[in-house]
Amino acid sequence: MTLIETITNWYAANMNHASITALMTIESSFIPFPSEVVIPPAVYVAATPTSPLCVTGNYIADVALIVLFGTIGAMLGAIINYLLSMWLGRIVIYKFADSKLGHLCMLNSEKVKKAEDYFNEHGKVSTFVGRLIPGIRQLISIPAGLAKMHFGQFMLYTFLGASIWNIVLAVLGYVAHGQADLINKYSHELSVAILAILAIVVVYFVVRKLIALSKR
């Protein structure tokens, strides 16, 4: 049995919606853990009838549940970062980032400052866009908490960004399982959805720029 087969069998026997939520909560908090080893393998093994992730009898519905619980976990982790940053404040957060424990979590003040600069430059929408950028996505909730961003807006943008990211990872799982025909079947709907999302983002930035210019 190859290493890949061993890992796949382990996922098929042990991965469930609770563990996906827990792992994605960790991934979205300050603890380093890649979502790439959670969602795609989960989608891959969801096609296995004996997997705990095969619950509806419909592969698409099972994958949708994986994305849903993965997004819930991502939001929980983001909330942890947001609340800790808001309560502890900038000085404590930066000191923690440069502490031994912070370094064990692969943090440092430069990474936190990078995320904070990105947030300050792009505004509240960065909590959406930042979820799609490696190196920023896990930390973007920290400057949002430091800035005491409106919690409802923070949750909305985080939900949208985390959902899109998890859908992308789910597509990778589809492809890995040889479901290219399924992707082709829904390629039109997927293309329309992606274009719609991009259009919304572009319109937002244009309107935001026009408002800023009108105030000068």
For 131, half-sphere exposure in the C-beta direction (CA atoms, 13 angstrom radius) is 31
Phi/psi at 40 (nearest 5 deg)? -60, -45
Q: Which amino acid would we find at residue 129?
A: V
* Span 205-213, average pLDDT: 67
Q: What is the mean pLDDT of the chain?
A: 78
User: Is the pLDDT confidence value at 101 over 60?
Assistant: yes
pLDDT tens digits for range 129-173: 778 777 677 788 888 888 888 899 899 999 988 998 899 888 888
Residue bearing the bigger pLDDT, 37 or 69: 69
Residue 27 pLDDT > 70, yes or no?
yes
For the chain, the straight-line distance linking the first and the last C-alpha, in angstroms and rounded, comes to: 67
In terms of Cα–Cα distance, which of 41, 56, 52 is closest to 4? 41
Confidence of residue 69 (pLDDT cuts 50, 70, 90): very high
Encode pLDDT of 162-207 as tens digits.
998 899 888 888 776 655 455 445 545 555 665 666 677 667 666 7
- Please provide the DSSP assignment of 147-170 as one string: TT--HHHHHHHHHHHHHHHHHHHH
Q: What pLDDT is attached to residue 180?
A: 43
Mean pLDDT of all residues in 101-130:
78
Q: What is the pLDDT of residue 30?
A: 74
Q: Which residue has the higher pLDDT, 62 or 122?
A: 62
Which residues, in sequence order, are CB contacts of 1 under 8 Å at separation 6+? Answer: 9
Q: Fill in the amino acid letter for 103.
A: H
